[in-house]
Chain A
Amino acid sequence: MEEVKKKKTRGQSVWSREAWLVASVVALAGMFALTGLAVSYYRGKQSGLAAMWFERGNAALKANHPRQAIEDLRNALSFAPNNSTFQLRLAQALAADNQIDSAEFYLFDLWSREPGSGEINLELGRLEARKGNPDAVRYFDNAIYGSWVSHPIEHRFETRVDLFHYWLDHGNQPQAQATLLALAAETPETDFGHLAQIGEWQMQAGDPRHALEQFQAALRVNSRYEQALGGAGAAEIAIGQYRDAIPYLRGALRLNSRDAQAAAGLKLAQLVLASDPFEIGLSPEERDARTIDAFLAGQASLAACATQQQVSVEPPEGAGPQNAFQQIWTRGKSLRPLVTHLRGQPQNVLQFMSFVYAAENLVADECGPLEGKDKALWLIGKEHRLTKVSNQATH
């Protein structure tokens, strides 16, 4: 009887136990709902605060207040720690504040999660470029061929420009030129602004021939584009085609008479054309006059620079030339007797102009950039030497 009683009690208790468990499961469902409500409110609040701080941080970064931006973006990140955009912007702010290592941590973390992201690779490339780390090239390349959420063409353009600047800053002109050629190839033919810009960079990279092509391509789309006209003129001068430079430069000045660069370029081109004794079709008198004029200008320039450097152009008595000034001056002096024997002696013209080139070269090295007629004479000399070399090769 006692046993039965016990069993009964146990049966009831067990049943009530299961019932309690079922009730707990029902209570669980209720708690799930309540927790869901609480979490949804919490999430909403967090998102709102994150967005607010992010906007503030973005604004501060745009206003070039990186310290403030860092603080705001860190606040934003505390509410959305896994938000890649926030992290990226914080890394940008840190980089802007020269906290390179801190920025790098965030970027490496992002990169480990999204190694193909163009944006992250570009930022990493910029950071490594600032550190002078050659890894920058790898990140720039990744960015060029990586994925972009929006405006991929513009971003890839931007990345190539960064890569070009990296090469240029590191004195690697061939790579810089190659990067610009790739950039030009990807630029739409109608985008005259970017074409002209590429031309400018090609000029910086010492590639005036390709620069001229970009300027001309830009002008085919917009013949009244001042930057392209000025650039084309400068490119023509850089490759020694002074006569061809003039129409471009005049065109630029027609559009903007205050374009000092175009005006200077035009003046230079005209000076070169007016001073060049090797110009085809010149009368013998005119050639002699230009040669003597150049000779005198070279001597004067050399003497003025020597005075500026407090160096005497005359060697001490009984002694040979002691420095470059004296060497070239002495060479000039030896040419003076030949002034009257220029006519019919083209090799004498070469000797005179060779002296002028040597003198202007020295002046440029010792006394700073040349201007006006000196620059024109230097350019003529430079061009003449190339011609001479080319003539020697031909013969």
Chain B
Amino acid sequence: MRQLAAKLTLQESYFFLFLAIVVGLLAGLTVVCFHVAYDMTRIWLLGSALAPPWLPTLLVPTLTGVAISLLVIWVFPEARGSGVNQTKSAVYISDGYIPFRTVVGKFIVCALAIGGGFSLGPEDPSLQIGAGIASAMGRRLRLSKDKARLLAPVGAAAGLAAAFNAPIAAVLFVIEEVIGTWSAGGLGAIVLAAASSVMVMRVFLGSEPFFRVPPYHLGSPLELFGYAVLGVFGGFASLAFLKFLAYVRPRVRRLPRWTLYVQPAAAGLLIGTIGLAYPQVMGAGYVYIDETIHGQFSWQTMGILSGVKIAATGLSFVSGTPGGLFAPVLFIGAALGGAVGGVEQLIFHHLTGSIGAFALVGMGTLFAGFLRTPITSVFMVMELSGNYSIILPVMISNTIAYLISRRYQSVPLFDLLSRQDGIELPSLEELREQPVLRIEHAMNPPSFPVLRSSSLVSEAMAVANSSNARTMLVRFSTGRWLVLERADLERLSGEDGRRRLAEVLARDWLPTVHPDQPLEAAIGFAQERSIVPVVSRMDPGKLEGVLTLKDILETYRETSTDAEHGSSSSVP
């Protein structure tokens, strides 16, 4: 039996990949059920018409808000908050631990919130549901801390991919926002999980994209200016939304505890009131994104919709109602893009880009500006549209929006939310932009003689005497290096000065490094050896400089001092 067990035992790495597929499938199935749950809830609560009658429009979000507050306070307190941040907390704080109760809570409460008309989306909860399932699997399988920590993002990618029907964007988002680094081991598992969850989702819900995007082609390069203008508008709209959350959320959180019972209901009532005039703002809004892409609204209506959706989503979110921001952000972006496109077409009749193209680019633009994930936003639009030619306008518009948002709001959304919650999670945007210290920044030119291994001991002694150096480096023809102390040289000189250094020196080779390597790569060597030669990659016998532990520590010290004084360009 034990032999059979040994035969069937998978290698750790294969086991993890296999586990990623299982997690992906489970997450995919759960997200499909979640989709069914929130959509059926909408039909049951608000009816099947896109614009519900006035009474349910007012009552349903209000009463749903009451139910949500009771559920969140008494049954699922973990369901409150951003799924992305909770997943990040799990990864960085609790070794990948996400209570399964959170999965259940998110599923039920978010289905109720989205179905009840709150302006929230299913992607963020799906991400956390996937991460929660993965975490539970990891615990059950008693994975090591490292693997358990990695499994949560794997599940997160699977959940997000299934919710979005966009596996590439989901993988990129998790790498960009949750993990922050590209690691080969993790990437394989994340890709496998995302692919398997999307496969499951497509089996059950169909392989059609979420949005039916009209054909697009760039008529003239001059049209890119039109998209650049959209980038400016998108940047400032993102900023407005971010500032709203940054200002209102902490104030709402400071309200007395009893108000937690009424906050979602009050938000629901306000959303219902907005919904009487603009029912489009209620729920995730995918249908309306599709209509916007198909030019079903005038530019004036789209402009208003982008504004009221910001208000409705902001209210939903700051009231503590669990739910995601992705879908609303896409809605706002699409509406804003359509409005800007409509106005531009009024002014410049020769523009061939349709309102749909502007709406599509607008989705990516707001995503980049608001969520501050520029790479994900570009790939997301490409994946949703299935059109490669849209990439150029998207890149231009997204970059402009991203830069504007960064310029005027230094803290990105997820960091902002975690800081408001009193948790200091690593800012992946800051991490990405931290200057990388390299060996070339710390190395110094050698202040001592460099000898050849073919030199006679007497010659080396003469060089040592003339330079008065205590330490010397010896270069061998093979490109290897040795360190030679003056005391050793004097001893060798006393024994026989006519022998060559290569003959008498023990082969205790020095480790070498290259100038472009990260500085941290040299720390271990510098701790062991007094000198670490920095050599050229082209010619290992060519000395570029030397490195000591003191040099390394000095460089780190200078960098941190500069950072404290607010200088970002601290690299020497």
Contacts and interface: CB of A to CB of B under 8 A. Distances in A.
Interface string B25-66: 110011011001001100100001111000000000000000
Contacts of A18: 5, 8-10, 15
B32 A15 contact: no
Interface string B91-122: 00000000000000000000000000000000
Contacts of B33: 34-35, 38
A104 B29 CA distance: 38
Contact of B295 (A14, A20, A35, A102): A102
Contact of A35 (B19, B29, B214): B29
A81 B355 CA distance: 19
Contacts of B215: 108-109, 112
B186 interface: no
B204 A36 contact: yes
B287 A102 contact: no
B140 interface: yes
A131 to B, nearest CB: 14
A27 B140 CA distance: 14
A102 B294 CA distance: 7
Interface string A10-40: 0101110110110011011001101110110
B294 A109 contact: yes
A82 interface: yes
Given A14-B9, A28-B26, A105-B214, A39 B204 contact: yes
A135 B214 CA distance: 19
Interface string A30-56: 011011101100100100010011000
Contacts of A75: 48-50
A74 interface: yes
A31 B214 contact: no
Contacts of A36: 204
Contacts of A15: 5, 8-9
Interface string A264-307: 00000000000000000000000000000000000000000000
Given A42-B36, A49-B43, A79-B48, A112 B296 contact: no
A17 B141 contact: yes
A105 B296 contact: yes
B20 to A, nearest CB: 11
Nearest to A12: B5
A53 B48 contact: yes
A18 B295 CA distance: 53
B356 A105 contact: yes
A109 B360 CA distance: 14
Interface string A206-227: 0000000000000000000000
Given A74-B50, A75-B48, A81-B208, A21 B294 contact: no
Contacts of B208: 81-82
A34 to B, nearest CB: 8
Interface residues of A, number: 40
Interface in A192-214: none
Given A18-B9, A102-B295, A112 B141 contact: no
B269 interface: no
B383 interface: no
A101 interface: yes
A28 B29 contact: yes
A78 B296 CA distance: 14
The residue among B6, B30, B32, B356 with the most chain A CB atoms within 10 A of its own CB is B32
A362 B33 CA distance: 81
Nearest to A94: B296
Contacts of B49: 53, 71, 75
Contact of A11 (B6, B48, B295): B6
B500 interface: no
Category for how many chain B residues contact A: 35 or more
Nearest to B19: A21
A34 B142 CA distance: 27
A39 B118 CA distance: 24
B312 to A, nearest CB: 19
Contacts of B377: none
Contacts of B32: 35, 38-39
A381 B103 CA distance: 94
B437 interface: no
Contact of B204 (A35, A82, A106): A35
A106 B43 contact: no
A38 B39 CA distance: 12
B423 interface: no
Contacts of A49: 43, 48
B291 interface: yes
B205 interface: yes
A105 B40 contact: no
The residue among A25, A32, A35, A49 with the most chain B CB atoms within 10 A of its own CB is A35
Interface in B116-168: 137, 140-142
Contacts of B5: 11, 14-15, 18
A38 to B, nearest CB: 5
Nearest to B4: A15
B22 interface: yes
Interface string B198-222: 0000001110100010110000000
B254 interface: no
B2 interface: yes
Nearest to B354: A105
A35 B141 CA distance: 24
Contact of B51 (A24, A71, A102): A71
B290 interface: yes
A81 B205 contact: no
B323 to A, nearest CB: 20
B18 interface: yes
A102 B296 contact: yes
B519 to A, nearest CB: 38
Contacts of B8: 15, 18
Given A21-B141, A35-B204, A79-B48, A11 B2 contact: yes
Given A105-B295, A105-B354, 9 more contacts: A11-B5, A14-B9, A21-B22, A35-B33, A36-B204, A53-B48, A105-B296, A108-B214, A109-B215
17 contacts: A11-B5, A14-B9, A15-B8, A18-B8, A28-B26, A34-B33, A36-B204, A38-B32, A38-B36, A39-B32, A42-B39, A49-B43, A52-B48, A71-B50, A75-B48, A104-B295, A105-B355
